Structures are given as C-alpha cells and as structure tokens.
C-alpha cells in the first residue's frame, strides 16, 4: 500500500481548507492508500514555520505527494512539492491520482517541475 502525503493551500482559506483535505484523504483511503494529511494535525492558528517543520518531517514518511487544487498559489505547498521533487519522490495531482488509483498509480502522470522558491 502506497503512503501518500497531501499537499495544498491552507493559509488564509476558510477553516484552513480542512474540508478539502479531509475529503481528499477520505477518497484516497477508500481506494486503499495510507494518507498523511497535515490538516489532521495542529490547527489553522499554528505558527506557519512550526507547522511547515512538522509537515516536512511527515512528508519524509510518504512514498508520493498528491496535490490539491490551488497548490501552486501556496508557499507551503510549493515548498513541499519542491522538497519531494528534490528527493525524487513522485508528485501527482489529486485528479490524476484518483483516476489512476483503480488501475495503477505508477501509470499516473507525475507532475514534472523545475521549481524555484
């Protein structure tokens, strides 16, 4: 079973975008994935730097990263994707992952990035 880390925008969004994270995690778990969902830890009021240090540590336990819509506009999500890419971890959009989950995640198109922070 693949372990997936969810990455997406939180800061400045209502309820820290937790509903979107929880829905994505539920969909992925229903398809047999183990999910590390940063929205299940801490609270939207947490210090951004402390939350990112915690989240990056959790990211290290994943096999792949799955991005939620709007991740490109999130400084934290861009950092998570950058770290994953630098460590040669596959990064998928949620849509691609859900589509491929019924077949084989390895066949899903991974995000190819050359990010600059």
How many residues are given for the chain?
117
pTM for the whole structure: 0.84
Residue 12 domain flag: yes
Range of the domain at 98: 3-107
- Nearest-angstrom CA–CA distance, 79 and 38: 14
The CATH number for 45's domain is 3.40.50.10400
- DSSP structure class, residue 61: T
pLDDT in tens, 62-113: 999 999 999 999 999 999 999 999 999 999 999 888 887 655 666 665 655 5
pLDDT in tens, 13-64: 888 789 999 999 999 999 889 999 999 997 767 889 999 999 999 999 999 9
Looking at the structure of the chain, the number of domains it has is: 1
Residue 113 domain flag: no
Report the SS3 class of residue 44: coil
């Amino acid at each position: 079973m693949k372990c997936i880390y969810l990455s997406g925008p939180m800061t400045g969004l209502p309820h820290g975008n937790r509903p979107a994270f929880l829905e994505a995690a539920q969909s992925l778990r229903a398809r047999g994935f183990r999910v590390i969902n940063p929205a299940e830890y801490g609270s939207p009021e947490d210090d951004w730097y402390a939350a990112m240090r915690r989240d990056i540590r959790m990211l290290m336990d994943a096999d792949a990263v799955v991005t939620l819509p709007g991740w490109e506009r999130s400084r934290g999500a861009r950092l998570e994707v950058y770290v994953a890419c630098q460590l040669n971890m596959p990064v998928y959009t949620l849509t691609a992952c859900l589509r491929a989950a019924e077949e084989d995640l390895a066949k899903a198109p991974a995000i190819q990035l050359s990010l600059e922070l």
